[in-house]
Amino acid sequence: MTKFFMFLKHEFKANKMAFAIPFIIQGINLALALIILILVASKLIPANGTLTEGVHELFKEINVSIDSELSGIVIMIMGYIMTAMSVTIYGVLVGMIRSGTVLNYEIRMGYELFYRSLPISIWSRSGAKYLNSIVGAFIAAMGVALVNYVSAAIMLSTVFVDNGMVWTMLFQGMIAGFISTIFAAFLFGSIGFLLSAVFTKMALMKGAFILLITGFVELLLKAFGIKFLPIFSYLTGTIAKLLQPSSMIQTSIENAKDIQLLTPIPVSNFFHLEQLWIMLISVGLFVLSTIIYKHKTIEA
């Protein structure tokens, strides 16, 4: 295990810029958002009013009620969207782009022989790379979501009197957003991982091309009434699910009048069987990727 953790640490060091980039981008985004908010709010400050009152005016302008029970839902949805977007952008997209190069980068750059000459098994190396690229990107995305959460909670606390409610509702939204996207991050990251094992160059481009061809074939077969494993439909369906609020959020909206928004939502509400399938498929893709990677010839 020492070797595995050493390699995990080594992988992190070799790729630390990839982890830093989401935070740098998000830092810039937040700074810009804050500047825009202050600028807009300062325009709306009533005579002799404060910046907080200006923000209140801004919320009124965009039809967000700040006193009703619905405000809690609005905040929760904000938390959900912020997290889902962070995880989608950084965890899924960045994770997929990162994992699309993870097994072929050293081969392409000519470093592979150095690593293959170390007494550490291919499975340990591949496992460390998988964790680093997919889970690592996901942790980075979660870090960005937390930064968003804290920033948004501080900003919204200037608007709402009940600070505890803001922090709790945003947090519930964040958890819902996190759970509804984590599995997609694993699935798409694992697909990128497989592509990096199969193709040495332009793995994602080639993967996207194959996916398009698959979609086209699926359409053709469907037109002729032939049943076929719906890979393209499954993937596009998963993307679509990412954009939908979770069932937990939907229930909250439907029961908005009497829901006790501050009551913690049961953990079981967050999980369903499809997530288990996604995890199993991801593990399968990891195993397949490692076998392909192991048998890849390093040219003399």
Partner 1 sequence: MSTLEVKGVTKYYKKLCALDNVSLEIPQGRIIGLFGRNGAGKSTLMRCMLGLMHHQGDILLNGEKVKYSDTAIFEKIAFIPDVSALDKRIRVKDAIELVKTINPSWNEERFDKLFAKSNLPLKNKVSSLSKGMKTKLYLLLTLCLDVELLLLDEPTLGLDIQFRKEFFNSILGEFYNEKRTIIISTHQVEEVENILQDIIFIDEGKIILYDSIENINTIYRQITVPQTHKEAVQALKPLSMFEGLGNITAIVKGEIDLGDMLYTYTNPRISDLFLAMVGGTSD
Nearer to partner 1, 2 or 48 (CB): 2
Contact pick of 38, 57, 116, 238 for partner 1 (by CB under 8 A): 116
Taking CB under 8 A as the rule, does residue 3 contact partner 1? Answer: yes
DSSP H helical ranges for the chain: 2-14, 16-44, 51-61, 70-86, 95-102, 105-109, 112-116, 122-130, 136-157, 163-198, 203-223, 231-243, 247-254, 273-294
**Residue 120 main-chain phi, psi, to 5 deg:** -135, 135
Q: Write out the binding residues for partner 1, residues 281-300 only, by CB under 8 A.
A: 294-295, 297-298, 300
Nearer to partner 1, 17 or 229 (CB): 17
Contact pick of 42, 50, 68, 121 for partner 1 (by CB under 8 A): 121
Tokens 């990096």 correspond to 196
Candidates 24-32, 42-50, 109-117, 163-171: pick the segment binding partner 1 (CB under 8 A): 109-117
Contact pick of 44, 122, 253, 259 for partner 1 (by CB under 8 A): 122
Question: Token digits for 64?
Answer: 């967000």
Taking CB under 8 A as the rule, does residue 256 contact partner 1? Answer: no
Question: Token digits for 195?
Answer: 């592509």
Question: Token digits for 93?
Answer: 């997209």
Taking CB under 8 A as the rule, does residue 1 contact partner 1? Answer: no
Q: Can you point out the beta strands (E) in the chain?
A: none
Q: To the nearest whole angstrom, how small is the minimum distance from the Cβ of residue 143 to partner 1?
A: 22
Nearer to partner 1, 26 or 101 (CB): 101
Contact pick of 47, 48, 62, 114 for partner 1 (by CB under 8 A): 114
Question: What is the 3-class SS of 203-243, one letter each residue?
Answer: HHHHHHHHHHHHHHHHHHHHHCCCCCCCHHHHHHHHHHHHH
Contact pick of 82, 106, 145, 165 for partner 1 (by CB under 8 A): 106
Q: Using CB under 8 A as the criterion, which residues of the chain lie in contact with partner 1 when the complex forms?
A: 2-3, 6-7, 10, 13-15, 106, 109-122, 294-295, 297-298, 300
